Amino acid sequence: MESATKDDLLKIYNFLTDLSCCNRCILRYLGFHISNEENPFQDPDKFFMDLKNDKNDGDITSKRIKKNPCPVCLNCFDPETLEKLISNSVRTHGMYLHLKKQFPQFKFKSLYDTTESVLEQAHKIFRYIAADILSKTLQKTFHPKSNFSLLITICYGDDDKEVENMKQIIAKKSSRRRCVDIEVSRNNIFEFLKDINPEKFENTFTTPPVIPEKNIFIEKVELTADPIYLGGRYLKFKRNVGQTPWVIDGVSVSEHNIQDIIFDAVCISFGCSRDMMTFCASGREDLDVRMLGTGRPFYIKIDNPKDRNISKDQLMQIEKEIIKTKLAAVIKLQAVYASELNHIKLGEEEKKKTYRALCKTESPNIKEAIESINKQPLNLEITQLTPMRVLHRRTLLARKKTIHSIKAMELPGHKELFEVEFVTQAGTYVKEFVHGDFNRTTPSLSSVVGYPTDLVALDCIDIELIWPEKD
């Protein structure tokens, strides 16, 4: 605003005041920001008073005597009242055009740009003023990064009437697409106002905006607390237990699932309901695969928690409740930060996984079969054409994967069964690596042994990922 003279500022001030504009809206049009060092939004009356005094303009009383609601912000920048941004946007635009016409020489900042040169955004002014009042009333300090937020919806009685015109214009614009019902939201009005040409706007809306007849009122106040997160690793001791509920045509595929077992335990310990929680794990094992050893990393998110302080006792209680089911266990359960959550999804391609498998072979000599497997080099490269098993939901593609290591072991007393432990690259189709899947996976244990070899049972015993942070 350095380029503008005080004279200019005063002229605009007087002009807008005559139109019943409130002082904060005038500051906004003049290009002031809340983040400015000399923030005038705190006490705009004083700011203009000083401006006038500097100019020695005898008349120091505000010209705005008629107590109409401000035609731009509908008084929502007024500490005594408050906003809904729909009519507000239209009105802001109307006054903006009017102002630009009257003062063509003054370089007004843009209304919609996202750069520095934008006029202060309406909601920021509102938040600034509202936060101040609320802090005083509630005797709590306002912090922009607090984990508790307040959503205030403000309603203007004539909103629908004023937005009706807008609907018509938008409808005309998109008439080619036969959409009859157009949702009017703050966002699409913004988008629309950004591009509208001034004449068209003036044909539909009065500029400057008419003096409002109704006051705004608070429609609702919603309180939300940021979610809290619990991280840990889970084990699954039984086959045919799913990871999450899986329903096909109204029938559950598995009787139990890890998510529900964990949620139930958390419900008991925290007294919160299931629908406040979301479950997220680092990958998933098949229904018929157990998860043993070090377990699989996971976290749960609890929305809108009543209590943010989680005690060690509560966490231990959850672990105990879970293991009581004898189907699953959770270890290392702890509160985790939202910023850590991406660890669980990161590096999914490189993550190594360790499996133990029970295999059955048609080889007549089990010792030879085991030897030929154990002769395989470290980091064996294999190519897997999308298995038949998942062809219905995955793109047909040949994928290269690495079997980092492999070790077969005899099972005393069994001539066709043996155990194999292997470390694979994430995303390897393990079952297919054993049986070969119509030679779609090469090499496979079947091809290495030279006789059909198949996988009878599979356990996942490690997923290489440090999670959660604390041991």
Partner 1 sequence: MDSHECEIDKYIKDLSIPILESIEKTEIEKFQPYYLRYYEDKYCVEFNRDGVNNDVLLRFHTNRIVLISLAKGHDIIRQEKIIEGINFEVKGVNRTEICLSGKKKHGAKKLRQDSVLCYIKCKDDDKEYPVYTSVPASFIEVNSHILKDPHLLVSDYKKLGYIGVLYPQCYGPKSMSVDVMAEKYKLLSEKEYEDYLLSNIPNKIIN
Q: Which amino acids are annotated catalytic? A: 286
Which of 118/323 has CB closer to partner 1? 323
- Asked if 272 is part of the footprint of partner 1 (rule: CB under 8 A), the reply reads no
- Asked if 319 is part of the footprint of partner 1 (rule: CB under 8 A), the reply reads yes
Of 401, 354, 355, the C-alpha closest to 381 is 401
> Which of these segments, 189-197, 345-353, 363-371, 432-440, binds partner 1 (CB under 8 A)?
432-440
- Asked if 285 is part of the footprint of partner 1 (rule: CB under 8 A), the reply reads no
- Asked if 427 is part of the footprint of partner 1 (rule: CB under 8 A), the reply reads no
> HSE-up of 429 (CA within 13 Å, CB side)?
22
Applying the rule CB under 8 A, the residues between 340 and 369 that interact with partner 1 are: 356-358, 360
Total residues at interface with partner 1 (CB under 8 A): 41
- Asked if 256 is part of the footprint of partner 1 (rule: CB under 8 A), the reply reads no
Could you give phi then psi for residue 198, rounded to 5 degrees?
A: -55, -40
> What gap in Å lies between CA 468 and CA 471, rounded to an integer?
7
> Which of these segments, 33-41, 128-136, 202-210, 288-296, binds partner 1 (CB under 8 A)?
288-296
Q: How far is CA 256 from the centre of its chain?
A: 29
Sequence-separated (6 or more) residues with CB below 8 Å from residue 178: none
Could you give phi then psi for residue 224, rounded to 5 degrees?
A: -135, 140
What does the per-residue mask of binding to partner 1 show for 231-250, with x meaning CB under 8 A? Answer: ----x-x-x---------x-
Q: How far is CA 255 from the centre of its chain?
A: 31
Applying the rule CB under 8 A, the residues between 128 and 187 that interact with partner 1 are: none
Which of 20/441 has CB closer to partner 1? 441
The one among 244, 388, 415, 450 contacting partner 1 by CB under 8 A: 388
- Asked if 431 is part of the footprint of partner 1 (rule: CB under 8 A), the reply reads yes
The one among 132, 419, 462, 464 contacting partner 1 by CB under 8 A: 419
In the block, tokens 């959550």 appear at: 341
Residue count (the chain): 471
> Which of these segments, 53-61, 120-128, 151-159, 289-297, binds partner 1 (CB under 8 A)?
289-297
> What gap in Å lies between CA 322 and CA 343, rounded to an integer?
24
Report in angstroms how near the CB of residue 452 gets to partner 1 at its nearest.
Answer: 6
**Helix (H) / strand (E) containing 13:** helix 6-18
> Which of these segments, 159-167, 273-281, 366-374, 433-441, binds partner 1 (CB under 8 A)?
433-441
Which of 157/293 has CB closer to partner 1? 293
Is the bond preceding residue 40 a cis peptide, omega within 30 degrees? Answer: no
In the block, tokens 């490269």 appear at: 381
- Asked if 210 is part of the footprint of partner 1 (rule: CB under 8 A), the reply reads no
Residue 102, token pair as written in the block: 């009257």
Sequence-separated (6 or more) residues with CB below 8 Å from residue 92: 72, 73, 111, 122
The one among 147, 438, 450, 469 contacting partner 1 by CB under 8 A: 438
Sequence-separated (6 or more) residues with CB below 8 Å from residue 79: 129, 132, 133
The one among 138, 253, 391, 398 contacting partner 1 by CB under 8 A: 391
**Helix (H) / strand (E) containing 166:** helix 159-173
Question: Which spans of this chain sit near partner 1 (rule: CB under 8 A)?
Answer: 235, 237, 239, 249, 290, 292-293, 316, 319-320, 323, 326, 329, 331, 356-358, 360, 388-396, 411, 414, 417, 419, 431, 435, 437-439, 452, 454, 456-457, 459
